[in-house]
Amino acid sequence: QVQLQESGPGLVKPSQTLSLTCTVSGASIPTGYYYWSWIRQPPGKGLEWMGVISYSGSTYYSPSLKSRTSISRDTSRNHFTLQLSSVTPEDTAVYYCARAQSLGPPEPDATWGQGTQVTVSS
């Protein structure tokens, strides 16, 4: 069973950088031609796809977030990371990582982590 687990600080101060890690078990990130995404859901709002890193290390970001977003991978630890800079309270959300078979927002049968709450507050 492929499993994804998000981790990182649950509270971030405004103007700081939000950093999260997605640890993958049951699959190898550089193997299998998969795409590894970050998605978030603010309170009372829908899912927002943030960006993706491919099995080869290529990245693609949502146009609305690309200026602040960086996704990277660490194949030795079998995880990939999200960094979101200059955060504001509008960045408060549940953050998810997911594995998909195509570039872009994950398809309905993609594998998701359970999500982790991140609150931006002073």
- pLDDT at position 108 is 80
Is residue 26 predicted with pLDDT exceeding 90? yes
The structure tokens listed for 36 are 């590894």
Question: Percentage of residues in the chain with pLDDT exceeding 70?
Answer: 100
105 has pLDDT over 90: no
CA-atom Rg of the chain in angstroms: 13
What's the whole-number mean pLDDT along residues 55-73? 96
Check residue 64 and give its pLDDT: 96
